Amino acid sequence: MMRGGMSFLLVLLVVTLSCAPVQESKLPIMGLSDPNAGGAEAADPVAAEVAAEVAPELEPEAEPAVEDSANALGQTLLFLPFKDVSKYKGAWNIHAELPRSLADTLKKNDFLRTIPIDSALVRLKKKELLGKIPLDRGLEVGRQLGADFIVFGEIGELSMKRFRATVPVGGYRSYHGQTNVTLRLVKVIDEQPAGEVIREGLEDSKKYGITNPAAYIPLEEEYWLLGQMEWGGEEFRETLLGKSVGKCLTGLATALDSLIRPPPDLSISEPKIIAVDDTQVYINVGLADAIQNGDKFGVWDNGRVLTDPQTGTVLGRALPRRVGVVQVEQVLSEHLALVRILEGAGQIQREYSIRAE
């Protein structure tokens, strides 16, 4: 009789959970030890801790971002701390952790390279560490670090939510993690906007086909203990929120790759350096070739003359080699542009050819 009664109650519970109205509950992602903490007070300790760690009063000397000649033709991005409008309250420093994770997602990209965000953090003030960075200030930091693009970010959503299935009995039947980020790019060379990217990642427990209410216990535990996990760690990546973050970052990385492309192949028959006047260099490529400010080109010599070491007879020329890299500073006309030398100062000469690589 006892066993039959228990079976009847279990069936009644399942039916009640399935038919009850849905109510949403959102956890501001914090530890179980303080589930009700929040408000403006929650953000200040994080900001204070970050400000203390990075010591903004220090002003280290600027370091060039481009050091590896093999990668000098790529475009360099500097992610600044993201501004948070999601009302997140918790222990993670998402202002720096999200852009840092996005930079890690881009590591396999051969054309887009990133400057470590820590290089920017040590130059920023307390409010700037929270993503409140004016355009001119962002450009200043970008120039100090040799960035081609500065990237401002805004976190629109970063949360794990649960939806109540029934009020009288209690319990939840649906959980999901949600991440929403907007990126705004600015070219450092001409201070012009370069585009906007918005991506969202959503991971829902319904996709796993869970029907037994008891099976939701691990998700309930995840819901409360999420904020105690290490950001970006293996345990975090397996959570609904961690998976939503991964989807969002992958979408952002793909969008950036589509937005920032290598320069077009040059249609002119002999693209080359036509003048070198001290620090100013001009090329015979311009609007007709659809180039833009910020595009980079390799500079190749004409191949040195080779002679017979015994007779001095000229035998021919060696194969051309890349001797430098230039970046378009201003497109002047259909077939004329002013460029700056990034590599090869003192070696680049008139009549040397340029290539889109």
Return the domain boundaries, the chain.
23-61+68-259, 273-355
User: Which residues, at least 6 apart from 205, have a Cβ–Cβ distance to it below 8 Å?
Assistant: 174, 175, 176, 216, 219, 240
Picking from 46-50, 307-311, 314-318, which range would have the lowest pLDDT averaged per residue?
46-50
Cα–Cα distance, 37 to 28 (Å, whole number): 9
- 249: its two tokens: 């970052």
294 CB-side CA count, 13 A: 21
pTM for this one?
A: 0.78
Per-residue pLDDT for 1 more than 70? no
Picking from 65-74, 219-228, 278-287, 333-342, which range would have the lowest pLDDT averaged per residue?
65-74
Cα–Cα distance, 251 to 244 (Å, whole number): 11
Domain at 273-355: CATH code: 2.40.10.410
Cα–Cα distance, 111 to 217 (Å, whole number): 45
CATH says 23-61+68-259 is which class? Answer: alpha beta
pLDDT at 20: 42
Per-residue pLDDT for 286 more than 60? yes
Phi, psi angles (nearest 5°) of residue 253: -60, -40
> Residue 27 CB: number of other CB atoms within 10 A?
19
Q: What share of the chain is helix, strand, coil (3-state, %, to 5)?
A: 30, 30, 40
Percentage of the chain exceeding pLDDT 90: 62
pLDDT at 185: 98
pLDDT one-digit tens code per residue, 9-24: 333 333 343 444 445 6
Most confident range (mean pLDDT) of 13-17, 182-186, 320-324 is: 182-186
Cα–Cα distance, 201 to 153 (Å, whole number): 16
31 CB-side CA count, 13 A: 8
pLDDT at 64: 40
- 228: its two tokens: 């105690």
Per-residue pLDDT for 61 more than 60? no
Name the one residue in this structure whose structure tokens are 């980020």.
181
Q: What is the torsion angle, in degrees rounded to the nearest 10, for the CA atoms of residue 126, residue 129, residue 132 and residue 136?
A: 90
Per-residue pLDDT for 36 more than 70? no
DSSP state at residue 255: H
> Residue 51 CB: number of other CB atoms within 10 A?
19
Amino acid at 274: I
What DSSP element (H or E) covers 173? Answer: strand 172-187
pLDDT at 122: 97
Q: Which is higher by pLDDT, 150 or 173?
A: 150
Picking from 89-98, 171-180, 267-276, 326-335, which range would have the lowest pLDDT averaged per residue?
171-180
With CA atoms as reference, report the closest residue to 233 among 35, 121, 115, 101: 101
Indicate the average pLDDT of the chain: 82
Helix/strand/coil for 215: helix
Per-residue pLDDT for 229 more than 70? yes
pLDDT at 213: 63
Binned at pLDDT 50, 70 and 90, residue 86 comes out as: very high
Secondary structure of 289-332 in the HEC alphabet?
HCCCCCCEEEEECCCCEEECCCCCCEEEECCCCEEEEEEEEEEE
Per-residue pLDDT for 72 more than 70? yes
* Residues 177/241, Cβ–Cβ less than 8 Å: yes
Domain 23-61+68-259 shares a fold with domain 273-355: no
* Residues 165/22, Cβ–Cβ less than 8 Å: yes
Per-residue pLDDT for 277 more than 50? yes
